[in-house]
Structure 1
Amino acid sequence: MPRFKVYLDSSAISFLYADDAPDFQSVTRDFFENYSHNFDLFISQVVLREIDRTVDAALREALKRVVEEYPISILAEDEAEEVDDLAAAYLDAEVLPRSQIEDAYHVAYATVHEMDILLSWNFKHLANVNREVRIQEANRVRGYWKPLRIVSPLEVVSENDE
């Protein structure tokens, strides 16, 4: 099986502590504890800024520990202008709502850095087939041909893996 490059949005990390969503929390823990080593994991400065804005200090520190303790690489900012332009293009084309600028940046980072998968629990704005199709179309118009799958941790955790 190929080793996929996976971009984690902040929800893919924060659901480790989502006591109000125990099923998703359980799947997220399973992913990190049993499957994360099968992937090359990445985040961007956007994720780090979202973590830094976490109001609950204990939760903020726990989220930072996840980034430190798991094999998660932070993407370089060397493509920042390209990422900025692509995120703006998603918003201008209404691929994502203007209010979801950070989601646009997550997708732009994943696209520009040629990720295979963007992992998210954000079903409304990211991890749904309609949004994925619109993002793929917008990417092709701008010359990004590599398909980006946008899925939840449920889709990369398998009970049948041996």
Structure 2
Amino acid sequence: MVFSKPRIYIETTLFNYCYLNDPDRKEEIFITRDLFDKIKKGFFEPYTSDIVIAELDRCTDIEMKQRMLGLIMEFDIIRLTAEDYKGYEELGEKYILGGAIPRQKRDDALHIACATLSQMDILVSWNCDHIVRYKTQQIVRAINLIEGVNDISINTPQEVINFE
């Protein structure tokens, strides 16, 4: 059986981990860079969104912001716009009301909605507090089923790099 390349949505934390300098996060940094290497080799079809760009734009370290934004061009990451994920604010609100994501972390709900409505196979994130957690995945799966939209896998880079 022939499989197509997985379409992956790269959430904000991955751009940060590419340049993170934290000895306590060495393994996550290595894994993130390994994922970007696999993207470069064509194992995945990478996407990000205007939501991610807006979050990166809020970085106060200008050099770091430019480096993170530069990854989008360097790795040919396709930038999704609101036109690609119409209805994402409404779906994100349903995730919040359903208890998947706290209201104060609305952007996290919007990432999931964007990836879902853009027909991504996998949302990749290191945000294990709100995005990559069992409760979130179960609620998102239930809401997506009720809404008749794409089911999405939500994983850390560690779970994704061994996809092949």
- TM (normalized to structure 1)? 0.91
Q: Secondary structure at the match of 1:41?
A: strand
Contact residue 123 and residue 152 of structure 2 kept, 8 A: yes
- CA distance, structure 1, for counterparts of residue 56 and residue 77 of structure 2: 14
The answer to whether the 8 Å contact 2:100/2:135 transfers is no
Task: Give the total of aligned pairs.
Answer: 159
- Give the counterpart of 2:154 among 135, 140, 150: 150
Unaligned runs of 5+ in 1: none
Percent of pairs with identical residues = 26
Partner of residue 66, structure 1: 71
Q: Deviations over 1:32-69 (max 9, x none)?
A: 12345211111110100011001111110110110111
CA deviation profile, 1:69-116 (whole Å, cap 9, x unmatched): 112001132155511111111112222100111101100001111110
Q: How far apart are the structure 1 equivalents of 2:82 and 2:38? A: 30
Structure 1, residues 119-144: CA drift from partner, whole Å, max 9, x if none? Answer: 00011111122211111011111111
What's the offset of the Cα at 1:10? 0.2
Name which of 30, 33, 38 aligns with 1:34.
38
Alignment pair present for 1:46 and 2:51: yes
Q: Secondary structure at the match of 2:34?
A: helix
1:98 corresponds to which residue?
103
Cα distance in 2 for residues equivalent to 1:35 and 1:44: 17
Tell whether the 8 Å contact from 1:44 to 1:74 is kept in structure 2 after alignment.
yes
- Of 34, 53, 75, the residue aligned with 2:80 is 75
Once residues 77 and 13 of structure 1 are traced to their aligned partners in structure 2, the CA distance between those partners, rounded to angstroms, is 20
Structure 1 CA distance for aligned equivalents of residues 4 and 69 of structure 2: 28
Quote the RMSD (CA, aligned, Å): 1.7
| CA gap 1:80/1:156 in 2 versus in 1, 3 angstroms | closer
Residue aligning to 1:137: 142
**1:14 counterpart = 2:16:** yes
TM-score, L = length of structure 2: 0.90
